[in-house]
């Protein structure tokens, strides 16, 4: 090891490579031992490489399971937590918990017990909350779509605000349970009636299933506002991540409806709004920052669209959309529309790549505004209600929010923008997670509540 370190330092001085590269190559270059008593298999779960060791001998009962994390003082890790993230150790712990859940799910899937997706969903939705002294909470169905309604118990002198909430989770995960605490907080603190929508998930239910469920539930609610004591002039749609995408799509559809009350506002929390360019500055800068990697963002979009991640590499490199179509939308999806202050952490422009007909046929619906709301025509954008957009500096989806903010403002739509300079994707959900809470998450949520109270 000493010899390796010395060799590494010499090569670093010569400008060939740094010493850490040599150390990693030396350590990682050791081939795995062959063991006559073990089955050894390499897997990758959520971009994290794993090596599984299973005894070959038949078990006499259920075996123990051990998750082992190697040392290396953090130097040899694969995730990248920027120095601007406050309390980075907490983020690393949350990421490890999520990875452990995914790993166990993969193991169970390999044993034929259940799918990884179903296990992760089960683990995410296990937390149950008791009755809330300030809220009436009830599960209902709106046009065959499950919803959970939160109504303040305190009497109100007038009709209340209404909030349609669409949860995040990459269209694959998330549920009424995963966002229960968040919806309770919004209902209590803003004194609003909140309707959380349990839309169908991918990959079992492909696009446009989630959008259709959210639209159906929204229409039903808007048609029966008086039953819930909601003011028809004060209804907002709200969602985080994939839910922000759904909120934007539903808002665009309802903007042209004269038979329903007009939405008062849309609240988009780090929304994903396009799938044409996964190489915008925020995707490059935050590609390895938890809790959403660049590859995962494209993976989830493909799962929602097609129920599989076929053509993932083409989508990531940008060869999934023909150059002429990219040029058509370049006025809306372009790094040129991102303020220069958001490029200082690094950005390398990408050239337009050719696209085969086969690849484009697989993903051509990426050009539909119901899937990618950033691509809606100006005539639709001009009709949208007052908007609140929350973005996080260390989030691959940051630039989607910035681009939509510009489109709204260019078309005369009032926008309240709140940017968490120390925030990362998913931070709002950890606003009340005990010792794993982040002050920035609570700060962002307080601004959302304040916006609602101003309506």
Summarize pLDDT for 15-34 with one digit per residue, the tens. 555 555 544 544 444 444 56
Identify the H or E element spanning 7. helix 2-13
Beta bridge partners of 235: 162
pLDDT of residue 36: 76
Q: What is the pLDDT of residue 135?
A: 99
Give the per-residue pLDDT at 424: 98
Angle subtended by helix axes 439-453 and 180-190, to nearest 10:
50
Q: What domains are defined for the chain?
A: 1-30 (no CATH), 35-124 (no CATH), 135-276+320-453 (3.40.50.1820)
What tokens were used for 144?
A: 């065959």
Length of the chain (residues)? 455
pLDDT at 76: 38
For residue 311, give both structure tokens: 């053509």
Active site residues: 241, 395, 425
Sequence-distant (6+) residues with CB within 8 A of 194 are: 149, 150, 162, 163, 165, 183, 186, 187
417 alpha-carbon distance from chain centroid: 19
Q: How far apart (Å, rounded) are the C-alpha atoms in residues 390 and 413?
A: 16
Answer whether the bond into residue 291 is a cis peptide, omega within 30°: yes
In the structure encoding, which two tokens stand for residue 191, read together?
Answer: 């004194």
Q: Per the structure block, which two tokens stand in for 219?
A: 């229409």
Q: What global pTM score does this model have?
A: 0.85
In contact, 375 and 274? CB cutoff 8 Å: yes
Q: Three-state SS for 274?
A: coil
SS3 per residue for 168-188 = CCCCCCCCCCCCHHHHHHHHH
Q: In this structure, are residues 151 and 227 in contact, taking their beta carbons and an 8 Å threshold?
A: no
The predicted structure's pLDDT at residue 20 = 52
Write out the two tokens for 342. Answer: 């958001």
What parts of the chain have a pLDDT lower than 50? 1-8, 10-11, 14, 22-23, 25-32, 72-77
Give the pLDDT score at 53: 81
Rg over alpha carbons for the chain, rounded to the nearest Å, is 24
What residues have CB less than 8 Å from 244, skipping those under 6 apart? 166, 168, 268, 269, 270, 271, 272, 273
DSSP H or E run through 197: strand 192-197
**Which pLDDT belongs to residue 17?**
54
What pLDDT, on the 0 to 100 scale, is given for residue 78? 62
Q: What is the pLDDT of residues 241-296, one digit of tens each?
A: 999 999 999 999 999 899 999 999 999 999 999 999 999 999 999 999 999 999 99
| 337-384 pLDDT, tens digit each | 999 999 999 999 988 899 999 999 999 999 999 999 999 999 999 999
- Rounded CA-CA distance 175/268 in Å is 18
- pLDDT value at position 54? 80
């Amino acid at each position: 090891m000493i010899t390796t370190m010395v060799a590494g330092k010499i090569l670093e001085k010569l400008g060939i490579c740094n010493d850490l590269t040599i150390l990693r190559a030396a350590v990682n270059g050791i081939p795995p031992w062959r063991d006559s008593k073990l089955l050894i298999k390499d897997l990758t779960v959520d971009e994290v490489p794993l090596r599984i060791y299973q005894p070959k001998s038949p078990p006499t009962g259920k075996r123990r399971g051990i998750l082992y994390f190697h040392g290396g003082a953090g130097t040899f890790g694969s995730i990248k937590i920027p120095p601007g993230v406050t309390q980075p150790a907490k983020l690393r712990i949350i990421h490890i918990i999520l990875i452990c859940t995914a790993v166990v799910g993969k193991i169970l899937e390999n044993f034929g017990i259940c799918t990884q997706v179903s296990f992760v969903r089960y683990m995410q939705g296990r937390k149950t909350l008791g009755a809330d002294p300030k809220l009436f909470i009830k599960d209902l169905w709106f046009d065959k779509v499950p919803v959970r309604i939160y109504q303040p118990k305190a009497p109100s002198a007038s009709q209340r605000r209404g909030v349609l909430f669409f949860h995040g989770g990459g269209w694959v995960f998330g549920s009424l349970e995963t966002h229960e605490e968040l919806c309770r907080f919004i209902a209590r603190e803003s004194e609003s009636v909140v309707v959380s929508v349990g839309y169908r998930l991918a990959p079992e239910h492909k696009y446009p299933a989630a959008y259709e469920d959210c639209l159906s539930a929204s229409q039903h609610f808007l048609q029966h506002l008086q039953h819930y004591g909601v003011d028809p002039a004060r209804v907002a749609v709200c969602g985080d991540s994939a839910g922000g995408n759904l909120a934007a799509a539903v808002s665009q559809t309802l903007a042209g409806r004269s038979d329903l009350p007009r939405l008062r506002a849309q609240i988009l929390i780090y929304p994903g709004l396009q799938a044409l360019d996964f190489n915008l500055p925020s995707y490059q800068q935050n590609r390895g920052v938890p809790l959403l990697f660049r590859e995962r963002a494209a993976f989830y979009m493909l799962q929602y669209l097609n129920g599989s991640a076929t053509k993932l590499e083409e989508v990531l490199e940008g060869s999934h959309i023909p150059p002429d179509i990219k040029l058509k939308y370049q006025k809306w999806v372009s790094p040129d529309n991102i303020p220069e202050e958001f490029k200082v952490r690094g950005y390398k422009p990408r050239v337009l790549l050719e696209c085969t007909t086969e690849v484009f046929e697989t993903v051509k619906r990426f050009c539909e505004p119901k899937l990618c709301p950033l691509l809606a025509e100006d005539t639709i954008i001009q009709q949208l209600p007052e908007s609140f957009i929350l973005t996080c500096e260390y989030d691959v989806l940051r630039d989607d929010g910035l681009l939509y903010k510009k489109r709204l403002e260019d078309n005369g739509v009032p926008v309240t923008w709140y940017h968490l300079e120390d925030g990362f994707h998913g931070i709002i959900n950890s606003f009340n997670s005990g010792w794993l809470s982040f002050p920035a998450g609570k700060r962002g949520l307080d601004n959302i509540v304040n916006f609602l109270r101003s309506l």
